[in-house]
Homo-oligomer: A and B are copies of this chain.
């Protein structure tokens, strides 16, 4: 096989890998959205559907991992292409866990709906919006190789953490004032933790994008972690 057509094939396969990851991201985000919408609407049927609807995401995860492996094994890509594939494998894990967290939200929501309600769900819908936005932007940043957008995702994670602490304090106050709300409040606290973790996964994706594009490791604020540049052209 001449080199040029091998290069074109690799490019095609990378494009397909990216397309599948975007599809996976869309599915994961949709599941979080469905769970939160059902919680707000008190729709138990819709929550049950979130609980049992994990299969397409799981299938896609396995397919993406297999694709990444096949590209690595057949093309033995170097430098930036290699970083794209390793980033894809990591992002794939993060997206699958976002799907799991949608299930966790649905479980807590079903328990919550069986109890006397606490009050208008404090800031949970806002947390969900931020987390979903972070996820979407992190994936956009991946596809567009946009370091500035990835950086903005990292900054939004603090907002989410602050809201989580605020939700916790508010619900604790309800529980202390009215112990009849303990169980329902606990479930809402759990939902807020799940949303925070979705933000953490979006943060992981954003960090992978920055590493992928700039070969710069932004985790742990290590400024000069040496990237493997020896094989770069």
- A residues with a Cβ closer than 8 A to B are 54-55, 58-59, 61-62, 65-66, 68-70, 72-74, 76, 78-79, 82-83, 86, 89-90, 93, 172, 175-176, 179, 182-183, 186, 189, 193, 204, 217, 219-220, 222, 225-228, 230-231
Q: How many copies does the complex hold?
A: 2
Closest to A71 in B: B228
B66 touches A225 (CB 8 A): yes
Give Cα distance in the complex from A54 to B220, angstroms.
Answer: 9
Contacts of A70 in B (CB 8 A): 228, 230
B172 touches A61 (CB 8 A): no
Q: Which of B69, B83, B182 contacts A182 (CB 8 A)?
A: B182
The DSSP consensus for interface residues of chain A is helix
A182 touches B193 (CB 8 A): no
In the complex, what's the smallest C-beta–C-beta distance from A94 to chain B, in angstroms? 9
Q: Which of B59, B176, B217 contacts A62 (CB 8 A)?
A: B217
Contacts of A54 in B (CB 8 A): 220
B182 touches A176 (CB 8 A): yes
Give Cα distance in the complex from A65 to B66, angstroms.
Answer: 21
